[in-house]
Structure 1
């Protein structure tokens, strides 16, 4: 029969159980690569471990922010780049407006280009409209049809252009100028109303006509500005000239130069020398009136469309769109602010006074915040929109005798405008500002990657294990465990026969 082994066997059994527990823990460490499943098992370094994990979580959070920021900024840069390209494509298309077909194609392309730009400006990154400033949940711009044509209650851009053109042309079609002969042998040209913002504005007059004297432009309030030429009772010689320079609503200047001639009939830009100075002055007045009418239907019309574009698109919270204070429009003298109840507000995002970039900010490091906000009504974006829209809206109807010259006047202005004059913000300027933010983001990303690697290595040194060390311990423990099990087995098999 078997006999008990008493206290010794109990100790061996407890030792065996302890070694099996150690083996199970070593197997867990080998499988998970972690020293312990909880902080208690880490010992004195548990506080440091909590701190390291907190820092790693913060770094990961910054990393997620940086990923989202890069998506938004990359999308914004692609939109801005495309808008700049559209401006250049439009600039190139106006070179084709020398023919009727070219003008039709250029205007059709301009309207399509405007629609594409508006679609781009309503781009979203996730649930955010990126060109709406603080109103990230609101579309940035109205639709193409609404902007151009409005509705029954709201004037669209086409109506603004029409009203402005009526105001700039005036009822006589002479660009709000009045041409007269105050005395035999003299010709006077004056603005129709003092203080009017519309039509031609007198800039200068000069003459090489023998015996002539010029005066102005000058005004004695409340009279409107006036300038004149008096032939002085002397007929000019053939080839002598008189020039009239005017300021136009878009800020450009135009000069009409008329040359005295004995040729009958006189050619373009010429006036006939009569039998006396009074007759010559009458011929000069007639030619000047005809030339101003032509200039009004061509260059002034182009300038008016561009001025209307600035009135309509150059808006923010403090500057609503401007409209002609009418009807009647052809005798109006000033502009009035459009309202949300009677005029299309093309930009529908937030339009506050704070800088656009500051309307969206994100913390990318413990001490670094980057600003990356955008508004569709920023000058660099709006400038492209208003110039392309002006081309789409101006009238160049087939069969209009002035269409080619009007197109030429528009083309010359758009080539300058779409090159973005010095001092005017461009889409490239906005992209440069975003690039500065992206540089900060990339630098922070590199720092976070380095920090993450350093902290992870440190944490691994505390929480982690050496597979080789654990394997060696497991092998040694397995040997001890096998020996203990064999000894225990022999003890439990002992009987009285072992003592005889």
Structure 2
């Protein structure tokens, strides 16, 4: 028998030892790092799971980074909107009708305080975080507003708000200061040979335009046998309105002392005002601006009434009309979403006889807001108007003048006439479409109007006649043709409103952030939303309107007083001094009246009644809070999910150091035994074997 090393193959033993050494090295690495492998290739069958989990964790890290960024911006927006809400409250209490302060201190300080608030407001709306502007919608690379000086005073030959305001005030007041109204008198008593006739005062608008006073109502407490009147009547299509007041001649009953005539007017900003003139005898008269003296006959009474009416209109022009004109100009200059900047078109003889507004552009007018803004807005039906002519049972849809190619819907077409509905389309500027009901339509007759947005998108307004209750896109056939036309007009208003709302979209969607696979948080804000716009318009209007102090009034009337004092005739001197005192009182009344007019409008613009409107500061606060809650919810969801994934990844990629240490001890024992056995075998011989 042969005994040698071939019975104990050393090569195999060395291979086993080498594998145990590799395993020992791996275990030492695992003990030191706690990781299962140092390379992906060493993960084995756990590799797909590891890659999947790591991919998901990477997505969560990206979402978390977005959340952190948006939280920073929302925190800044929250503080800004909170300050805007405080400014709104401060503005409401800044000016109160009838509260002029000691020595009219409130009147003196209001413009300066309003200018300071406007400065702060512009700064807030130009806020940025790390170079990203937050109040320009998706236009985040530049400030959405110019600075206050440029807004008010203009720059580089471009008109600012003050210029637009002066033009508007001139257009509203008119050259004669009567608010674009004309009065005339026809004296019928005493008569020329023939029967006595009434003396008639006529008051009429000087044309069809958006400026000045618009006649709305008239009433009188005098007996109908003494005073008759005709009310102003709105027509379709619209025309300049007028009213008349007729004083009946004797022996008819005459107007009595204490009886009144009241006229109502619509002002350029859409508000209403009125004047009341009270009849009085010469002996009872106090020389007030609200009275007229009853004459010896109806002709003299009418003459006195016309003079008092003209003077009162001038007084209202300096107060109520001035305030309304200021706020109308702010609405023209500080344009809202879907509206262009408007200015008065010079009538050729100056702005006092202007008859229309024009669309301003960046070549001649400062654009107050250059951030993102929708071209069509829900408010104002996308710059459309719906009118109904009850005499012809016709419903007319027209574009708002002046037409802007970049703002609002343009009417493109209307469907052909049906058996009972005659349709027509006029492609003039502004264009219009109308539907006239010759008879009640049959169920199923349809009218379709096509609107075009500035970007070329078209929208159809389709209305179908139905019996019974109308649903979406339908109008009810009424008992009469007139009722059907009215139902059609209401349904047209609904579909036009829906189209405008869809075209406008949601300002919040102008800026969004992905915070989960299926969740985007919307937090965009556009600086011309309704609540912010009201603040800008109000602060700008109040900051440019000034009121003379008592010292200014006295100083301006001083030449009149000195001239009166220099009169030698004592009777005339007393009369002239009385006229001076009356002029000072009138100046005080005008200043107070203009302050009151501004205070009333400031209160109305910043009233809490607007809190529920889209785009109000309060709604913005709520919507930003909702976005913040969505972020917090998504963040917590990611935290929980990440913890689960970390545990799963730990199971896949890490090891228990205790288990590794025990395996190392066992492997060391095996290695030592292997080393010893191999050493002994390597030295084996027959002698040693024996």
Cα displacement string for residues 302-357 of structure 1 (whole angstroms, at most 9, x for unaligned residues) = 110000000011244x5321001016101101100111100000112233445322
Structure 1, unpaired ranges of 5+? none
Question: Equivalents in 1 of 2:655, 2:22: separation in Å?
Answer: 18
Cα displacement string for residues 386-432 of structure 1 (whole angstroms, at most 9, x for unaligned residues) = 11111112232433522222111110111111115447431212232
Secondary structure of the residue aligned to 2:351 is: coil
1:358 aligns with 2:509: yes
1:207 aligns with 2:220: yes
Structure 2 counterparts to residues 107-146 of structure 1, below 5 A: 107-146=111-150
Question: Equivalents in 2 of 1:312, 1:187: separation in Å?
Answer: 41
1:370–1:475 distance in 2 versus 1, CA, 3 Å: same
Q: Give the match for residue 274 of structure 2.
A: 255
Structure 2 counterparts to residues 233-382 of structure 1, below 5 A: 233=249, 234-262=253-281, 263-316=284-337, 319-326=339-346, 328-353=350-375, 355=505, 356-382=507-533
Q: Give the match for residue 232 of structure 1.
A: 248
Aligned residues: 496
User: 591, 607, 617: which one pairs with 1:403?
Assistant: 591
TM-score w.r.t. length of structure 1: 0.90
Q: Give the match for residue 382 of structure 2.
A: none
Secondary structure of the residue aligned to 1:181 is: strand
Question: Equivalents in 2 of 1:448, 1:260: separation in Å?
Answer: 79
More displaced, 218-227 or 307-316? 218-227
Select the structure with the greater relative contact order (CA < 8 A; seq sep ≥ 6).
1
Cα displacement string for residues 451-488 of structure 1 (whole angstroms, at most 9, x for unaligned residues) = 21112211111111112222322343445556666778
1:272–1:193 distance in 2 versus 1, CA, 3 Å: closer
Secondary structure of the residue aligned to 1:330 is: helix
More displaced, 374-383 or 429-438? 429-438
Secondary structure of the residue aligned to 1:217 is: coil
Question: Equivalents in 2 of 1:222, 1:117: separation in Å?
Answer: 40
Q: After TM superposition, give the deviation of residue 13 of structure 1 in Å.
A: 6.6
Question: Equivalents in 1 of 2:661, 2:104: separation in Å?
Answer: 88
Q: After TM superposition, give the deviation of residue 40 of structure 1 in Å.
A: 2.9
Q: After TM superposition, give the deviation of residue 293 of structure 1 in Å.
A: 1.2
Contact 1:266–1:272 (8 Å) recurs in 2: no
1:129–1:415 distance in 2 versus 1, CA, 3 Å: same
Contact 1:188–1:226 (8 Å) recurs in 2: no
Contact 1:158–1:393 (8 Å) recurs in 2: yes
Contact 1:202–1:247 (8 Å) recurs in 2: yes
Q: Give the match for residue 387 of structure 1.
A: 538
Question: Equivalents in 1 of 2:245, 2:206: separation in Å?
Answer: 20
More displaced, 171-180 or 354-363? 354-363
Contact 1:194–1:222 (8 Å) recurs in 2: no
Cα displacement string for residues 17-62 of structure 1 (whole angstroms, at most 9, x for unaligned residues) = 5555434322321232211112332221211211111111112111
Question: Equivalents in 2 of 1:151, 1:440: separation in Å?
Answer: 44
Contact 2:35–2:653 (8 Å) recurs in 1: yes
TM-score w.r.t. length of structure 2: 0.66
Q: Give the match for residue 35 of structure 2.
A: 34
1:195 aligns with 2:208: yes
Question: Equivalents in 1 of 2:624, 2:357: separation in Å?
Answer: 36
Cα displacement string for residues 162-186 of structure 1 (whole angstroms, at most 9, x for unaligned residues) = 1100111111111111122223464
Q: Give the match for residue 607 of structure 2.
A: 419
Question: Equivalents in 1 of 2:199, 2:27: separation in Å?
Answer: 114
1:428 aligns with 2:595: no
1:240–1:13 distance in 2 versus 1, CA, 3 Å: same
Q: After TM superposition, give the deviation of residue 76 of structure 1 in Å.
A: 2.4
1:182 aligns with 2:186: yes
Question: Equivalents in 2 of 1:289, 1:268: separation in Å?
Answer: 10
Contact 1:235–1:280 (8 Å) recurs in 2: no
Question: Equivalents in 1 of 2:199, 2:215: separation in Å?
Answer: 17
More displaced, 216-225 or 239-248? 216-225
User: 444, 459, 462: which one pairs with 2:652?
Assistant: 462
Q: Give the match for residue 76 of structure 1.
A: 77
Contact 2:111–2:546 (8 Å) recurs in 1: no
Question: Equivalents in 2 of 1:219, 1:69: separation in Å?
Answer: 53
More displaced, 245-254 or 261-270? 261-270
Q: After TM superposition, give the deviation of residue 209 of structure 1 in Å.
A: 1.6
Structure 2, unpaired ranges of 5+? 189-197, 376-503, 554-586
State the Cα RMSD in Å: 3.0
Contact 2:512–2:520 (8 Å) recurs in 1: yes
Q: Give the match for residue 62 of structure 1.
A: 63
